[in-house]
Amino acid sequence: MEERLLNDPRPRTTLSFYKYHRIENAADFRDALFIAFEKIEVLGRIYVATEGINAQISLPTERLEAFEQLLATPPFDFLDGIRLNYAIDDDGKSFATLKVKHREKIVADGLPDGLINPADAATYLKAQEYNNLVESNPDVVVIDMRNAYEFEVGHFEGAQKIDVDTFREQLPVAVEQFQDAKEKPVVMYCTGGIRCEKASAYFKHHGFKEVYHLEGGIIEYTRQAKNLGIDVKFKGKNFVFDRRLGEKITDDVLANCHQCGEPFDHHVNCANQYCHTLFIQCLTCAEEMQGCCSNECKEFLHLPEEQQKELGHRFKPDGSKYLKRKKFRD
C-alpha cells in the first residue's frame, strides 16, 4: 500500500473534520463509512463513537467532489456542509492506509458519560476576533489544550501549557492550574478544535465565567489569518497525528534536539520498533544514534532479529515523561 501511494502520481489532499453528533449504531455506521471511503480512495484514521466522528484523512484531489457528495448522503448526511480543515503544509503522503475504528469515545476524556456536554461549549472566536481580544486585553489567559510534546514545537504567543501527555490527564490538571483565572477571559485552543469542545464545557462546568474557544483550532486560525493578511500569532510548527508529525506555520524554531540541545523541531519515533519513543532528534544526532533515543536502543538494534523478539518486552511504556514515552496518541 505504502509503495502504491508513493508511486501514484495523482495529487492528494489532506484534511480533517469532526462532529459531535449522536450515532445510534456506531458499529454499523463504521462499516458503512469504511466501504464508502474505500470506494473514493480515502486513506487516514477515523474514529467513530456514539458521541460522533473524528477524521483525519487524505484523498486524491480529483475525488474531493465525490467526497462532498458522499457527506450529503444518508447515513452520513449529518456531515453535510461541515467545515473541512485543510492541512497547511501538505505533501499528500500523510497516511498510507485507511483505518476506521469504532471506539467508546472520539476524544478519550476520562470522564463519566454525561458529565460534560459538548453542546455547552464556549463562545467561538475567529482569527480576527482572537487577535483583537489578546491585543486589547492584557488579562486574557490563553491556554494550550494540547499535550506537552505538541506545545514544545509550536504554540500561540503568550500561551500557557499544561504539562501532561494525554488529554485524559489534562482536564483536571488544567482546572487546578488555572483556578485563579475563573473571573478572567480564558481562551483555549487545540489542533482542530475537537478537544476544546469538551475542555471549554468542562471549564464552564467548573465555574469559569468567560470561556472562549478558537474556532477550528490552529489549522482554521492559520488559514483565516493568512487569508486576511493579519498577524499570525501562532509560532513554529503545528504538531499533527500523521506521517508528517508537524506542519510548519512560521519559520520560528521553538524546540531543541533532545540529545544535543541544538535548535530543532522535528519529532521522530525511536528506530527501535519495540521502543518507538516519540522525541526530537536533529539530523546529526539521528546519524550518530542511528535514529535511536538511547544507547540501549542503539545496541538493541544490532541484536539478531530472533533475540530482539525475545527481549522486546523490556521496552515497556512507563509514561513518566514524554521523552520516555513509548507510543504517542491522545
> Residues in the site for Zn ion, rule: CB under 5 A?
257, 259-260, 270, 272, 275, 277, 282, 285, 293, 297
What gap in Å lies between CA 193 and CA 171, rounded to an integer? 15
Q: How near is the Cβ of 243 to Zn ion at its closest, in Å?
A: 19
In whole angstroms, the minimum distance from the beta carbon of 305 to Zn ion comes to: 17
Q: At its nearest, how many Å lie between Zn ion and the CB of residue 297?
A: 3
Using a 10 angstrom Cβ sphere, with 0-12 exposed, 13-18 middle and 19 or more buried, the burial of residue 329 is: exposed
Q: Grid coordinates in use for 118? A: 459538548
Contact 215, 125 (CB under 8 A): yes
* Least gap, CB of 248 to Zn ion (angstroms): 19
Measured from the CB atom, the residue of 183 and 299 that comes closer to Zn ion is 299
**DSSP annotation string for 176-245:** HHTGGGTTSEEEEE-SSSHHHHHHHHHHHHTT-SEEEEETTHHHHHHHHHHHHT----EEEEE--SSTT-
- R_g of the chain computed on alpha carbons: 21
Q: Measured from the CB atom, is 56 or 259 closer to Zn ion? A: 259
Cβ proximity to Zn ion: between 51 and 152 the closer is 152
Give the active site residues: 190
In the chain, count H helices and then E strands.
Answer: 11, 14
User: 3-class DSSP state for residue 17?
Assistant: strand
Closest to Zn ion by CB, 218 or 270? 270
The residues that bridge with 56 in the sheet, in sequence order, are 16, 45
Nearer to Zn ion, 143 or 275 (CB): 275
Minimal distance, residue 312 CB to Zn ion, in Å = 11
- Which triple of cell numbers denotes residue 165? 501527555
